[in-house]
Chain A
Amino acid sequence: MGRERDKDWDRDLYKKVDRYGIVENLSECLQCGKCAGNCPVAALNPSYNPRQIVNEILQGRVKRLLDSEEIWRCLWCANCYRVCPVDIHYPFLMMQLRYMALEEGYGLKYVVPINKYAHRALDAGLTFVPGKYGIEKIRKLRTSIGVEPWPEVSDRAKKEFRRIFELTGALAWMENLETLEEKPVTFSFLKGKILSRGEVSK
Chain B
Amino acid sequence: MSVARRVITPQEQIAEVPEKIFLFRSCTGSMEYPGTENAIKEVLKILGVEIVSDPDQSCCAGYILTCSGFTPEPALAVTARNLGMVEQRYGLDTYVFCNGCYAYIRELAHVLHTHPDYMKQANDLISQWGYKYEEKTKILHVQELYYLLLDKIKEKVVRPLTGLRVAAHYGCHYLAQQYNILDEGDLPTFHEEIYEALGATPVFYKHRRMCCGYAVGRGFTHKESVVQPQLSKKFDSAKEDGVELMTTTCPGCNVALDREQPNLNKRGFGPYDIPVIDLGQLIALALGVPLWKLGFNANTTPMDGILTKLGLEKGEIGDE
Interface residues, chain A, with chain B CB atoms under 8 Å away: 20-22, 40-41, 44-45, 72-79, 81-83, 87, 91-92, 95, 98-99, 102, 109-111, 113-115, 117-118, 121, 125-130, 138, 141-142, 144-147, 151-154, 156-158, 160-161, 164-165, 167-171, 173-174
**Which one of A21, A40, A128 contacts B27 once the chains associate, using CB atoms below 8 Å?**
A128
B80 CB to nearest chain A CB (Å)? 10
**Which one of B28, B37, B230 contacts A128 once the chains associate, using CB atoms below 8 Å?**
B28
Contact with A along B49-87 (1 / 0, CB 8 A): 000010111110101111111111110011001000000
**Which one of A41, A102, A110, A145 contacts B217 once the chains associate, using CB atoms below 8 Å?**
A110
B90 CB to nearest chain A CB (Å)? 16
- Within 8 Å of chain A (Cβ to Cβ): is B103? yes
**When the two chains form their complex, are residues B213 and A75 in contact, meaning their CB atoms are under 8 A apart?**
yes
Q: Show 5 residue pairs from A and B whose CB-CB distance is below 8 angstroms, ordered by the A residue.
A: A74-B216, A75-B216, A114-B69, A115-B64, A161-B61
Bound state CA distance, A142 and B57, in angstroms? Answer: 19
B303 CB to nearest chain A CB (Å)? 14
Stretch at the interface among B11-19, B147-155, B170-178, B263-271: B170-178
**When the two chains form their complex, are residues B176 and A170 in contact, meaning their CB atoms are under 8 A apart?**
no
**Which one of B125, B215, B220 contacts A168 once the chains associate, using CB atoms below 8 Å?**
B125
Contact partners of B227 in chain A: CB under 8 A: 75
Answer whether A114 and B31 are a contact pair too, CB < 8 Å, given A44-B226, A154-B56.
no
**When the two chains form their complex, are residues B185 and A156 in contact, meaning their CB atoms are under 8 A apart?**
no
A48 CB to nearest chain B CB (Å)? 9
Answer whether A40 and B64 are a contact pair too, CB < 8 Å, given A141-B297, A147-B34, A168-B71.
no
**When the two chains form their complex, are residues B211 and A121 in contact, meaning their CB atoms are under 8 A apart?**
no
In addition to A128-B28, A153-B25, 15 A-B residue pairs with Cβ atoms within 8 Å of each other are A22-B115, A73-B218, A75-B215, A78-B172, A111-B67, A111-B69, A113-B221, A127-B63, A127-B64, A153-B55, A157-B55, A164-B77, A164-B125, A168-B71, A171-B70
Contact partners of A113 in chain B: CB under 8 A: 220-221
Answer whether A160 and B70 are a contact pair too, CB < 8 Å, given A121-B59, A151-B30.
no
Contact partners of A45 in chain B: CB under 8 A: 225-226
**When the two chains form their complex, are residues B129 and A165 in contact, meaning their CB atoms are under 8 A apart?**
no
Contact partners of A78 in chain B: CB under 8 A: 103, 172-173, 176
A122 CB to nearest chain B CB (Å)? 10
**When the two chains form their complex, are residues A40 and B73 in contact, meaning their CB atoms are under 8 A apart?**
no
**When the two chains form their complex, are residues A95 and B65 in contact, meaning their CB atoms are under 8 A apart?**
yes
Contact partners of B56 in chain A: CB under 8 A: 154, 156-157
- Majority-rule SS of B interface residues: helix
What is the interface size of chain B, counting residues whose CB is below 8 A from a CB of the partner? 67
**When the two chains form their complex, are residues B221 and A72 in contact, meaning their CB atoms are under 8 A apart?**
yes
Answer whether A164 and B64 are a contact pair too, CB < 8 Å, given A75-B218, A77-B176, A111-B69.
no
Bound state CA distance, A130 and B111, in angstroms? Answer: 31
Total A-B Cβ pairs within 8 A: 186
Closest partner residue, chain A, to B25 (CB atom): A151
**When the two chains form their complex, are residues A82 and B230 in contact, meaning their CB atoms are under 8 A apart?**
no
- Within 8 Å of chain A (Cβ to Cβ): is B262? no
Bound state CA distance, A47 and B67, in angstroms? Answer: 21
Bound state CA distance, A194 and B280, in angstroms? Answer: 44
**When the two chains form their complex, are residues B59 and A82 in contact, meaning their CB atoms are under 8 A apart?**
no
Stretch at the interface among B161-169, B194-202, B238-246, B287-295: B287-295
**Which one of B35, B78, B226 contacts A73 once the chains associate, using CB atoms below 8 Å?**
B226
**When the two chains form their complex, are residues A144 and B63 in contact, meaning their CB atoms are under 8 A apart?**
no
- Within 8 Å of chain A (Cβ to Cβ): is B189? no
Answer whether A76 and B66 are a contact pair too, CB < 8 Å, given A128-B31, A154-B56.
yes
Q: Which of B31, B77, B115, B218 gathers the greatest number of chain A CB atoms within 10 Å?
A: B31
Contact with A along B103-133 (1 / 0, CB 8 A): 1000100010001000000000110010000
Closest partner residue, chain A, to B57 (CB atom): A157
Contact with A along B20-47 (1 / 0, CB 8 A): 0000010110111011011000000000
- Within 8 Å of chain A (Cβ to Cβ): is B48? no
Contact partners of A77 in chain B: CB under 8 A: 172, 176, 211, 215
Contact partners of A128 in chain B: CB under 8 A: 27-28, 31-32, 63
Answer whether A158 and B221 are a contact pair too, CB < 8 Å, given A91-B66, A115-B69.
no
Answer whether A168 and B74 are a contact pair too, CB < 8 Å, given A79-B211, A138-B34, A161-B59.
yes
Contact partners of B310 in chain A: CB under 8 A: none
Contact partners of B297 in chain A: CB under 8 A: 141, 144
Answer whether A168 and B73 are a contact pair too, CB < 8 Å, given A21-B115, A95-B66, A145-B293.
yes
